[in-house]
Amino acid sequence: MLDHPLQDIDAWVLLFSNNSLPVLRVTKRRLDEMRQHIDDVDARELSRVIIQDPLMTARVFAFTQSIGSRSLQRDIATIASAVMMIGIEPFFKRFEDLPTIEGMLKGEDTHALLGVLQVIRRSQRAADYAQEWAIWRNDVNMEEVRIAALLHDLAELLVWTFAPSLGLEIHAQQVAHPNLRSVDAQRNTLGLCFEEIQEALCRVWHLPELLQNLLGEDSKNLRERTVALAVRLARHSSHGWDNPALPDDYIDIGQLLNISPEAVRQRIGVDAMPAREADGPEAS
């Protein structure tokens, strides 16, 4: 495990690219089960398993950059299309004996695994919100919106996974200094921020264009707005539903969906939500 910051963005990208990305244990188990009945598996069914796991999703996109033409790579914006390009049988041959996050972090500080699972669960919730709102808006490319939300915090997840002590340090700074901006905590620890790493990964791994567009200024594009608001809601509600930023989220989401803030709360089911200390356990 890395316990010190790297010299620049290229070094971080090289670290992530040269090491096999681990996946959730449940993802490995489901893929192993599907492998036993490979003749009955179709691309849609396989993609549903993959897009629950941000690191497995990133692995698939990163792999597609090594096959096919550059013009074809640009057309790959969903996991279903990536799987069809790879082929079902070649997919299972390429992605076997997958390492797991739980196995990789075994023996590390238990808070490190919890930190990884919290980021994953937050990403899953953001993806669920984005998908639901895309369906509400009759977006025909709903999976692209889901994937962009799922991978929005990919760089943060990778730092937690490959350098858990640095992830813990960033978290400790924010706990000790509640008014410290997250980007400043990242720079204090890494010398750069997650967004800078993310931008480089998008370029090198040919991640979807919608995800790359989110790295700029707040957009009025409805699809980008959908993802940004889904990520905001998942982040602000990650420790419960009493975050003071949530009322503004409900207003902005209501404007996106053309419904009232109260209707947003009802759709989310806020008042029926049980108390929650932190996201995480459900992811594994």
Within a domain: 283: no
- Tell me which residue range forms the domain holding 199: 1-124+153-211
Note the pLDDT of residue 275.
Answer: 52
Q: Which amino acid, residue 225?
A: R
pLDDT (average), residues 1-19: 92
- Tell me the average pLDDT across 38-60: 94
252 found inside a domain: no
Q: What is the pTM assigned to this prediction?
A: 0.90
Whether the pLDDT of residue 11 is over 50: the answer is: yes
Contact 150, 57 (CB under 8 A): yes
- Using a pLDDT cut of 70, give the percent of the chain over it: 91
Examine residue 2 and state whether it is found in any structural domain, yes or no. Answer: yes
Q: How far apart are CA 20 and CA 161, in angstroms?
A: 11
Q: What is the pLDDT of residue 74?
A: 59
Looking at the DSSP bridge assignments, the partners of residue 100 are 23
**Interhelix angle for 110-136 vs 142-150, to 10°?**
160
Mean pLDDT comparison of 60-69, 70-79, 122-131, highest-scoring range = 122-131
Report the number of distinct structural domains present in the chain: 1
Compute the average pLDDT of residues 79-107: 91
> What are the residue ranges of helices labelled H in 6-141?
9-18, 25-35, 43-50, 54-64, 70-75, 79-86, 88-94, 101-104, 110-136
The structure tokens listed for 129 are 């919100």
Q: Is 250 inside a domain boundary?
A: no
Task: Reply yes or no on whether the pLDDT at 75 is more than 80.
Answer: no
Q: Where is pLDDT greater, at 71 or 128?
A: 128
Mean pLDDT confidence for 117-142 = 95
Contacts of 183 (CB under 8 A, 6+ apart): 193, 194, 195
Residue 263 lies in a domain: no
Per-residue model confidence (pLDDT) at position 1:
85
Q: What is the Cα–Cα distance from 174 to 160, expressed in whole angstroms?
A: 15
State yes or no: pLDDT of 140 exceeds 50: yes
Among residues 255, 271, 268, 284, which one has the least CA distance to residue 124?
A: 284
How many of the other CB atoms lie within 10 Å of CB of 221? 13
Residue 18 is encoded by which pair of tokens?
A: 């040269």
Q: Is residue 94 domain-resident?
A: yes
Cβ contacts of residue 37 below 8 Å, gap of 6+?
none
For 209-227, the DSSP string reads HHHHHTTSSPP--HHHHHH
Alpha carbon distances (Å) from 170 to 25, 129, 182, 197 = 26, 27, 8, 15
Whether the predicted pLDDT of 277 surpasses 60: no
Do residues 65 and 101 lie in contact, with contact meaning Cβ atoms separated by under 8 Å? Answer: no
Give the per-residue pLDDT at 226: 94
CATH code for position 189? 1.10.3210.10
Report the distance separating Cα 185 and Cα 169, nearest Å. Answer: 9
Is residue 237 domain-resident?
no
Does the residue 262 lie in any domain? no
- Cα(185)–Cα(174) distance, integer angstroms: 7
Dihedral of the alpha carbons of 194, 222, 220, 62, in degrees to the nearest 10: 30
pLDDT of residue 58: 93
Q: What is the mean pLDDT of the chain?
A: 89
User: pLDDT value at position 125?
Assistant: 97
pLDDT tens across 158-211, in order?
Answer: 999 999 999 999 999 999 998 999 999 999 999 999 999 999 998 888 888 777
